[in-house]
Amino acid sequence: MLKSKTFLKKTRAGGVMKIVREHYLRDDIGCGAPGCSACSGAQEGPALELQPVDQASCLCPRPHYLLPDTNVLLHQIDVLEDPAIRNVIVLQTVLQEVRNRSAPVYKRIRDVTNNQEKHFYTFTNEHHRETYVEQEQGENANDRNDRAIRVAAKWYNEHLKKISAENQLQVIFITNDRKNKEKALEEGIPAFTCEEYVKSLTANPELIDRLACLSEEGNEIESGKIIFSEHLPLSKLQQGIKSGTYLQGTFRASRENYLEATVWVHGDTEENKEIILQGLRNLNRAVHEDIVAVELLPKNQWVAPSSVVLHDEGQHEDDVEKEEERECILKTTVNEKMLKPTGRIVGIIKRNWRPYCGMLSKSDIKESRRHLFTPADKRIPRIRIETRQASTLEGRRIIVAIDGWPRNSRYPNGHFVKNLGDVGEKETETEVLLLEHDVPHQPFSQAVLSFLPKMPWSITEKDMKNREDLRHLCVCSVDPPGCTDIDDALHCRQLENGNLEVGVHIADVSHFIRPGNALDQESARRGTTVYLCEKRIDMVPELLSSNLCSLRSNVDRLAFSCIWEMNHNAEILKTKFTKSVINSKASLTYAEAQMRIDSAAMNDDITTSLRGLNKLAKILKKRRIENGALTLSSPEVRFHMDSETHDPIDLQTKELRETNSMVEEFMLLANISVARKIHEEFSEHALLRKHPVPPPSNYDILIKAGKSKNLEIKTDSAKSLADSLDRADAPTFPYLNTLLRILATRCMMQAVYFCSGMDNDFHHYGLASPIYTHFTSPIRRYADIIVHRLLAVAIGADCTYPELTDKHKLADLCKNLNFRHKMAQYAQRASVAFHTQLFFKSKGIVSEEAYILFVRKNAIVVLIPKYGLEGTVFFEEKDKPNPRLFYDDEVPSLKVEDIVFHMFDKVKVKIVLDSSNLQHQKIRMSLVEPQIPGISNPTDVSNMDTNEPERKKKKKFEK
């Protein structure tokens, strides 16, 4: 049966176009109940159970299916995901509304419907002849959809009677809309609110904790005192933004001060780019990363960023007077130059809430069900939840979701989602850091795995099309120890004409991951492989990352090769790109490759190739540095793990060899060569990588640090900075140069991916290269897969597809990749920090030499070279008399009593793990030398290893 709608539309040119929309109605859409003779097996995929026996509800004791409306699906997804809830009918009407309103919830509901054990059935009611409803005159879309859901619920109850009268199967309509529920009951449909139904499941009382509390009025505290001003409706906010009364931006809460935040204003205006907010009422219930509307305050109310550290540690939930006292601390007399544009939040444009990890702060009131949850992320406010399992959840990491934030509540309301495990346990803490940094780490779904090649796999004639056979070449790979995802391999040989042929061979991942399929979509979503201290979260399934794509030795592998003909002065004479087949002759570690190069006794083909590569790499590096490339430094650490407990038993900074530099030089050269080629072919949609020039103010601290050691650091170009750093040497202080390079690294901007058609500035500042991209690591970076596809099209080895030449889609992809790379970096740092804590937990108290990196008003930030560890030594402590402090911002220096501290001064510090706050355990550092009476700690603990674990067989693990 065909329904059609006809309407007229005005075109841009001023003409009128007649549009006919056709809507097909069918009789053969199954109800999802197995054994239904009326549907005669029309349904496909996951179906409902014939005898649903799970839900033992005191409200509806008969066997039943559930049919939720849109708002239940949107707001009670945590309840629906619980294993106790099964046999749910998801209507097409509901699914479409959810898809339009929340992409994350839509994805979660699709995952649930694909889980066969849950028995969720998607019913296409909009195309079923008996359940389709047309919008009536004067009826809005929302009311029409509510009616369509009720019609489907009623049809189901009538339809199920046909299966078996004795069976008494029912469909229960679940809605939190009072009017909709009343109408359903009038029409004879069994209907309950989500709360009524969940509370009726006597066998699953823990489900009540997962209910989202929705009605803000119902959650208002008995006191009823209004704390916050009302948020303006979206229509008024949009008008205000259009007229310039309000500004739209992203709300960024502060980790250091819960009464202060900034809003990064959207758009290109340089004026008022960053607006500061101070005080509870001005923050007006915004949560970190929300999109907000801000009203600028008059200039006489502008403030300066506060240097006070304030953490919300109050036990009294709504002690607002106390907050007002603390707000007064922020307002210190400051120089007028330091005042920043200041504002207040007038409304929320888009909430960006996510599930938060943290711990329960149990209420002091006995038998209370209302407790405060403290998130691990200090930028998130505490959340009030109701739970009956407070005693069980104490001392455990849990996940909580925010439901709303009423005007008269000091904290937002939320609900319990999941118990992750005991605090401090390695598995629990790893899960927390992955969730907190939004790292996708669920096992790959069946849909994704179905696109992997079938095993046993071998190279076929079809695979050899458009490919060169390079298996005869003496190719080898050089990687960190324990590396199984080998992306790259190299070769070097002398040609008959006396020149050298150098090849970089990269795993051909794009051969296995085809555009648009589920495997491709999942790889794009993950964006990058994340390397934690003891775990690797792969971007692609293990069959590819550690086997079929990994360029292991003595097996045939598909590759994408970049081959140059060079003279002995490393000048490129010819460049060739080709898809290839290689057979690596050796998988070496950096140490093994170095040993071969250095050993006079070894002269085989692999060693000769390595020596040739090393010689050319030195020339390439020298030339790169002469052109102004920066050699920066950051202390990277490596843990030695106990082979049985997997706890860290030693911590060292990584040693870099010539071979590290050798591999790096050829990877850089390949990336630059490929960038030129793809930009030549696709000037508008090449995926490139740039490193912006830092604003001059970024270098202030570096210039001051150099000045304090009588060194001039020039920063007008990358070349002058590189030259200044090369000249910055002090014979009596060999570590000074490394410290300056570490500091220079902190001054840099973040390198980012971008689409060439959306930007004019391609320059990579750190590498001093006019153009750059990523081509050499497709197993662990999705950007490289796109670059491979572009290069394959450029050389005629593969065909293009629409998304590859759509610069807007490419720009969106770059945005996600930049976010994923940043989060992976933060997750890696958090993993190092956690393992460092584990290390010092077993070491007890340790004293080590350190250098001052930064001088603060009441503290010094130090770096301990032995461990590559950074920490803060505070000079003001609770319950101790404060010393005399004098801070000079110009030098910069800090005078503590009679001792003056400058940047890069050598000190001795005591390191100990402070476990007093279970949620935020941290390494505490205190001064040992120079000695300041009442501040310095005695030195008798120097290098004393308390609780030294028994030395077991060591297993080295490379991060």
HSE-up (13 A, CA, CB side) for residue 152? 31
Residue at which a domain ends, from 797, 826, 855: 826
Mean pLDDT of 604-625: 93
Decide if 410 contacts 320 (C-beta within 8 A).
yes
The verdict on residue 584 lying in a domain is yes
CATH, residue 276 = 2.40.50.690
Farthest-apart Cα atoms in the chain, separation: 95
Domain containing residue 137: CATH number = 3.40.50.1010
What are 104-151's pLDDT values in tens digits? Answer: 888 888 888 888 888 888 998 888 888 888 888 888 888 899 999 999
Task: Say how far apart CA 134 and CA 139 lie, in whole Å.
Answer: 10
- Both 538 and 644 in one domain: the answer is yes
Predicted local confidence at residue 811, as pLDDT: 92
- Does one domain contain both 90 and 187? yes
CATH assignment of the domain containing 870: 2.40.50.140
Q: Do residues 547 and 585 both lie within one domain?
A: yes
3-state class (DSSP) for residue 141:
helix
Query: Looking at the structure, do residues 514 and 644 belong to the same domain, yes or no?
Result: yes
Is 714 found in the same domain as 624?
no
> For the chain, what is the mean pLDDT?
83
Contact status, residue 545 vs residue 529, Cβ threshold 8 Å: yes
Q: Is residue 936 part of a domain?
A: no
- Look at residues 798, 826, 854 and tell me which one is the last residue of a structural domain: 826
28 occurs within a structural domain: no
Closest by alpha carbon to 172, among 154, 191, 186, 146?
Answer: 191
What span, in angstroms and rounded, lies between the C-alpha atoms of 860 and 575? 52
Residue with tokens 């991209």: 773
Same domain flag for 144 and 271: no
| Pair of tokens at residue 900 | 């003056």
pLDDT at 837: 82
Residues paired with residue 502 on neighbouring β-strands, in sequence order:
492, 564
Asked if residue 619 and residue 511 are part of one domain, the reply reads yes
Same domain, 200 and 264: no
Determine, yes or no, domain membership for 29: no
Residue 951 pLDDT level (bands cut at 50, 70, 90): very low
Q: What would the pLDDT profile of 505-554 be if each residue is shown by its tens digit?
A: 999 999 999 999 999 999 999 999 999 888 889 999 999 999 999 999 99
Secondary structure, 3-state, 470-539 = CCCCCCEEEECCCCCCCCEEEEEEECCCCCEEEEEEEECHHHCCCCCCHHHHHHHHHCECEECCCCEECC
369 has pLDDT over 80: no
Tokens representing residue 17 in the block: 């176009």
The reply to whether 345 falls in a domain is: yes
Count CA within 13 A, CB hemisphere, residue 83.
Answer: 3
Tell me, yes or no, whether 274 lies in a domain.
Answer: yes
Instruction: Judge if 294 and 355 occupy the same domain.
Output: yes
Q: Which of 725, 747, 769 is the last residue of a domain?
A: 747
* 756 and 735 fall within a common domain: no
pLDDT above 70 covers a percentage of the chain that reads 86
What pLDDT was estimated at residue 938? 63
Same domain for 733 and 771, yes or no, is no
Instruction: Note the pLDDT tens digit of each residue in 239-259.
Output: 999 988 999 999 999 887 888
In a domain, 353, yes or no: yes
- pTM beyond 0.85, yes or no: no
Give me the domain span that covers residue 819: 469-691+752-826
pLDDT digits (tens, 9 = 90+) for 908-930: 888 888 777 667 777 888 888 88
Are residue 684 and residue 700 in the same domain, yes or no? no
Compute the distance between CA of residue 384 and CA of residue 409 in angstroms, rounded to an integer. 9
Q: In the chain, how many domains are there? A: 5
Instruction: Tell whether 837 is covered by a domain.
Output: no
Instruction: Note the pLDDT tens digit of each residue in 577-598.
Output: 999 999 999 999 999 999 999 9
